[in-house]
Structure 1
Amino acid sequence: MRRRRLLTGGAALAAAASLQPALTDTAQAASPATPLPSGAAVVTVLRRVADQWIGAHTDPGDNGWANATFFSGLLALQRLTGSPRYLAYARNWAEKHAYGLNGGVTTRHADNHNAGQAYLDLYEIEPEESKISAIEESLHRMVYTDQPDKNDDWWWDDALHMAMPPFARIGVLRGDPRYWQKLYALYDHTKRLEGGPGLYDAGTGLWYRDKRFLPGVPGGILSPAGKPVVWSRGNGWVAGGHAKTLKALPPAERHTGEYRDTLVRLVTAVAGIQRTDGFWNVNLADATHLPGPETSGTSFFLYGTSYAIRAGLVDRRTHLPVVARAWNGLVSTAVHPDGFLGYVQNVGDRPESSQPVTYDSTANFGVGAFLLAGTELARLVGP
């Protein structure tokens, strides 16, 4: 894989200092207190959204990253509700693909490992080794046999959601810390790009999608107003990946503290730039850059923040209004009466991707993000 060009000296310092002013410009005054829903009310909406998707998709679809994100959310809801319908739908999907991975067991691509999250969920419900043999062999190859010293596979921030949790969970399942060591090596490369600056902006706690968006890179991508591009869903993938990984890892694992602190920084940063309607801008650093509502990034921020509150990582009183605004904004703006979920930016890598985003724009991974978020919120607020 081609090595990345690193910024050094004055360019590195300029990059590190360039994002905060743009974020300050996007901050809004806090909206009036928003009531928290009950857990029962949240579950009612989640069921309506899940049922609408399942009813409209009798074929459960492929096992790519996008659809796997939907099944991650559906299985989170299944664990909360015990629904046999959701379990059967997910089981049928996994069996259709023989619990396999795109690219086979030799794949190193994080997107292809995302299906392994749902397979691990199904294994936990109904343990059968065949359900996780493909994801386990693929990760085992990366850890032990196929270029085990190669750690530059995760070059974009979405990869953290797709592949961090399977490494964490297989390590727990097999009692093998080598999976956690490999996880951190891959993560550290993405975060710091071998000494950086990496995709992580330490000054703000936010992440750039990939090296094309780093400030100071010749020909780098900026918004039409000349501001940095800090993609909402890209940061949402990061929040989701950290939350899922922390749920799996033992508290004493040597890197758990860093993952925890990084999630706290991200959750705290986005709390300060949430819109008054509960959503987040598709470009977190430029409120004028395609300023309409967007569901997928907002859902992942709701998920990560709800988890952080529930785990005691952030102040409950400070962050409960954030999740209340996000949930109520999503339900009142994006959820149709029949459960169709709108305002989802479809597949892409930046704010301009798959535009325009409208009331009738949806996608499987957006529904999955919403189900993950609502399930975490329901557990937080209780019955």
Structure 2
Amino acid sequence: MHMDRRRLLLSGAALAVAVPVFGGLPGVRGSASAAEPPSDRLPSRAEITHVLRRVADHWISSNGSGDNGWARATFYSGLMALHRLTGEGRYLDYARDWAEQHSYGISGGTTTRNADNHTAIQVYLDLYEVEPDEQKIAAAEETLRHMLTDQPDKNDDWWWDDALHMGMPPFARFGRLREDTAFWDKLHRLYDHTKNAQGGPGLYDPATGLWYRDDNFLPGGIQSPNGKPVVWSRGNGWVAGGHVKTLKALPADADQVPEYRDTLARLVAALAPIQREDGFWNVNLADPDHFPGPETSGTSFFTYGTAYAVGSGLVDRDTYLPVAARAWNGMVATAVHADGFLGYVQGVGDRPDSSQPVTYDSTKDFGVGGFLLAGTELAGLAS
């Protein structure tokens, strides 16, 4: 399967990635939507924080607290990152009120195996770390322990690559909190099934460092109208975000850390040569003509992943910090409205075709959350 996939991804100008077996291919970047390409200079921490506050404040003033599903929980994950950066009490209050409205519960109940329903655990743990109270994480721990003990050999729950962002960090963080490596072992078994072809869907392509969203898009499956692979931007963004949050939680000497670090580094390297001139990435990383145009959610998570990879020494700072800076500056110039509304966010879906058209006035909670995560990570690299 890997050899067939490699031939498909390498045919023609289907894809270009920054790993040694590939070179840049003409036309893969897409066209710039801004009058001038964005600067590759990283703004100051104060400048980044000002934009983050503006975007967060607009969302809070314009939307209710929301449910505790994956989309809104991703927003609160970003908001808690902004709280850690700024110390702003009202961001903490807003997140706490949301969690209390849902009694720190799990959508679908504590027996759910669906990673989407586990996303809120990330925020509950953030709140627990600020104000420890075991009640805040009781349901969270129960649902994860259910995964450990009920059908312990069942590891096929994460069949789509989004699940890595939703599900990996809770297992990583509980393993550290409880000093129980069983959480980390289960995490890796679930992850390995998603990633590799042996007994699982094999969504990771080792030849490119990129991921298919699910097995519908593997070679021989769904293609773009131009006959090229469909390698969904936000799907890969979820992968990047899941790896970042997991690596932040795991101790450096944990057994699985080298694999997670290498996989994230390869993904970050793959993205650099296919970045658009306007700083964004196309919704289909393998076909710049498949719904071309700026898209903020995938770009935000790629910025988050790249900034973390730079800061943690996974990739060369001089090479990759400009990639993250161009992405950030491009989003600020193109997608952030004067009042803080964040545009060009692709809505809910599973492929480039979903929730089209993506416009200046398209936004979603998870896109705002991804933007806040990207900016707070970049602020840590700025002076």
TM-score, L = length of structure 1? 0.94
Counterparts of 1:33 and 1:47, CA distance in 2: 22
Q: What are the within-5 Å matches in structure 2 for residues 135-214 of structure 1? A: 135-143=140-148, 145-195=149-199, 198-214=202-218
- Asked whether the equivalents of residues 159 and 201 of structure 2 are also in contact (C-alpha less than 8 Å), the reply is no
Q: Deviations over 1:10-43 (max 9, x none)?
A: xx42212221341134544997862210011000
Provide the alpha-carbon RMSD of the alignment: 1.5
Query: Runs of 5+ in structure 2 lacking a partner?
Result: 17-24
Q: Is it true that 1:18 corresponds to 2:23 in the alignment? A: no
**Shift of residue 197, structure 1, vs aligned partner:** 6.9
Q: Is it true that 1:350 corresponds to 2:351 in the alignment? A: yes
Q: What are the within-5 Å matches in structure 2 for residues 106-121 of structure 1? A: 106-121=111-126
- Asked whether the equivalents of residues 201 and 215 of structure 2 are also in contact (C-alpha less than 8 Å), the reply is no
Q: What are the within-5 Å matches in structure 2 for residues 65-144 of structure 1? A: 65-143=70-148
Q: Is it true that 1:222 corresponds to 2:212 in the alignment? A: no
- Asked whether the equivalents of residues 38 and 330 of structure 2 are also in contact (C-alpha less than 8 Å), the reply is no
| 2:43 maps to amino acid | P
Q: Deviations over 1:120-179 (max 9, x none)?
A: 000000000011111111001111x21111000000000000010000000000000000
- Asked whether the equivalents of residues 117 and 166 of structure 1 are also in contact (C-alpha less than 8 Å), the reply is yes
- Asked whether the equivalents of residues 193 and 201 of structure 2 are also in contact (C-alpha less than 8 Å), the reply is no
Q: Deviations over 1:241-296 (max 9, x none)?
A: 00000000011111110000000000000011101100001000001000011000
> Which residue number corresponds to residue 44 of structure 2?
38
**Shift of residue 196, structure 1, vs aligned partner:** 6.2
Counterparts of 1:249 and 1:202, CA distance in 2: 24
Counterparts of 1:336 and 1:28, CA distance in 2: 25
- Asked whether the equivalents of residues 16 and 197 of structure 1 are also in contact (C-alpha less than 8 Å), the reply is no
Q: Is it true that 1:49 corresponds to 2:58 in the alignment? A: no
Aligned-partner SS, 1:285: coil
Farther-moved stretch of structure 1 (12-21 vs 121-130):
12-21
Q: Deviations over 1:33-74 (max 9, x none)?
A: 6221001100000000000000012x2010000000000000
Counterparts of 1:180 and 1:212, CA distance in 2: 28
Aligned-partner SS, 2:381: helix
Counterparts of 1:121 and 1:246, CA distance in 2: 16
Aligned-partner SS, 2:234: helix
> Which residue number corresponds to residue 377 of structure 1?
378
Q: What are the within-5 Å matches in structure 2 for residues 238-253 of structure 1? A: 238-253=239-254
| 1:172 maps to amino acid | R
> Which residue number corresponds to residue 320 of structure 1?
321
Counterparts of 1:155 and 1:193, CA distance in 2: 12
**Shift of residue 194, structure 1, vs aligned partner:** 2.5
Counterparts of 2:60 and 2:309, CA distance in 1: 30
Query: Runs of 5+ in structure 1 lacking a partner?
Result: 1-6
Seen in structure 2, the aligned counterparts of structure 1 residues 33 and 365 have a Cα distance that, compared at 3 Å, is closer
Counterparts of 1:346 and 1:94, CA distance in 2: 24
| 1:55 maps to amino acid | S
| 2:109 maps to amino acid | G
- Asked whether the equivalents of residues 17 and 203 of structure 1 are also in contact (C-alpha less than 8 Å), the reply is no
Aligned-partner SS, 2:270: helix
| 1:338 maps to amino acid | D
Counterparts of 1:103 and 1:196, CA distance in 2: 25
- Asked whether the equivalents of residues 29 and 288 of structure 2 are also in contact (C-alpha less than 8 Å), the reply is no
Counterparts of 1:157 and 1:201, CA distance in 2: 12
Counterparts of 1:32 and 1:89, CA distance in 2: 33
Counterparts of 1:125 and 1:203, CA distance in 2: 42
Counterparts of 2:77 and 2:277, CA distance in 1: 29
